[in-house]
Amino acid sequence: MMAASEEAAGGENAYIPVRVRWFDDLTASVAPTMRQVVVLGAGLDTRPYRLDVPAELDWYEVDRPDVFAAKQQVMADHVPRCRRQVVEGDLAADWGSALVGAGIGRDAPTLWLAEGLFFYLTADMIAGMLRDAAALCGPGSVFAADVTGTAGLDSPVMARYRAWCADNDVPPPFGTDDPIALFEAGGWRIEHVTAPGAPDANYGRLAAQRDGVVPGRTHLVVGRR
């Protein structure tokens, strides 16, 4: 998938490795202070297997049944380091009920991770997701997400994907230059905003950038309940 992405874009995708490492560092730092972690649109995320997280941590992965079926084939011989639970749910529908059914602690401090997810949703869907998450956790909870900026969404590189979205009744790629308003609309207070290339999200891979909000670019956002 990475090779196909780079071929379509015409060059190395240096952003994805930086994004993964940023979420890794955040999770390793914050998860030990929480009782549970929820990964929305978990896909092939392997953090509960490879990060040093507490064994008593409850780790919920939310995604479609077909995604988990494929993932199980790959991870069948591996053991997670905490109490990982698969939660089958449609993020475009009522995924919250599935989490409740899986036993999520609704008053517990929770780390929510939405990596590479908002790009595929609409503003209303994202605000609803943030509100639903806030209603399913306790004070002190943290929500982390990458939020694509508007620069490049109408570029020729995106034309093929936009056409595919239109043909398949899928939302066009989402981006905003005001990630703070996006999070606040969902009931989360902004704790930190940075960007790929900033001092805390660079790792020697990208041209230096400053942190904070800069219109057009992608942001890495942390909100707290």
Adjacent-strand bridge partners of 144: 113, 222
| Neighbour count for residue 7 (Cβ, 10 Å) | 9
Q: Which residues of 181-217 are buried (b: 16+ CB within 10 A; e: fewer)?
A: ebbebbbbebeebbbbbbeebbeeebeebebebbeeb
Low-confidence ranges of the chain (pLDDT < 50): none
Domain locations along the chain: 2-224
pLDDT of residue 10: 81
pLDDT of residue 71: 94
Considering only CA atoms, which of 180, 111, 114, 115 is closest in space to residue 142? Answer: 111
pLDDT of residue 203: 94
pLDDT of residue 8: 77
Query: How do residues 1-22 score in pLDDT, each as one tens digit?
Result: 778 878 877 888 888 999 999 9
2-224 is classed CATH 3.30.1330.10: no
Q: Annotate 76-90 with DSSP letters as a single string.
A: TT---SSEEEEEE--
